Structure 1
């Protein structure tokens, strides 16, 4: 995984994790990388110092220490994701196909969640189908 320091055209800084540089490029081109503060899809990489791996660093674990405002934000995001999941049909790998059916009037309008590759997501966006990734929150991966 590659961690990039990113910023939007409104000057908000944040970080993003990607499987490769190409993965960032594909997601950025498909407007899938958006600012968590303002939602802008005009996002770019910022200058970063290289990470040097040492034996001491390998023993350390990454941790996030949150202040109260960050904890409240994570709780709100978690509640939002829970509400979305409770009110949407999980179609798994069929997400691109089902999203197209709804968009083109071949299936009833309903909320969907599922999986799509970066290329599939880009294609959906290019067709004018509104999609958004669900955030992965700290407790979801720990």
Structure 2
């Protein structure tokens, strides 16, 4: 199965990729409210114009011959098939969920706990929780690194 990769954005201009089995799958998931911004969780998603892949190899000039007589080896990777790509994506999601499960869920105390760790008041540990957009902005301005976790990666929020 070949996957379609769409460039998407939300009403706040957060840009992200969406991977779908088809255009119809994208439209169906969008209509059911399943496509959400991974940054702000907005459901107002639009598909952005993306550059198509153009085969312009025939327009390239022939490279100049190398002075060395021995050919240089190049690293190469075979592109995965659609089925391999789907299995790879599923494994990546499983691993990310495993990492998220290993964090301490501090809930609405997230901003306070992050600040206490940053100041050295408490020992650092991996945490997750909830914070308002303003709290997130303040944490970043204070030099505290944070990262949004989409609901799909947090088993506790999927229930």
SS at match of 2:109: helix
Q: Deviations over 1:16-75 (max 9, x none)?
A: 534377xx9xxxxxxxxxxxxxxxxxxxx835xxxxxxxxxxxxxxxxxx8431342132
Higher RCO (C-alpha 8 Å, min separation 6): 1
Mapped pair 1:73 → 2:124: no
With over 3 angstroms needed to count, the CA separation of the structure-2 counterparts of 1:97 and 1:13, relative to structure 1, is closer
Q: Distance in 2 between matches of 1:125 and 1:97?
A: 13
CA RMSD of aligned residues (A): 3.5
Q: Distance in 2 between matches of 1:124 and 1:75?
A: 31
The total of aligned residue pairs comes to 94
Listed as ranges, the gaps of 5+ residues in structure 2 are 1-6, 10-14, 19-35, 50-81
SS at match of 1:137: helix
TM-score by length of 2: 0.46
Mapped pair 1:19 → 2:42: yes
Task: Please state which structure has a larger fraction of its residues in helix.
Answer: 1
| Bigger-Rg structure (1/2) | 2
Cα distance, 1:123 vs structure 2? 1.2
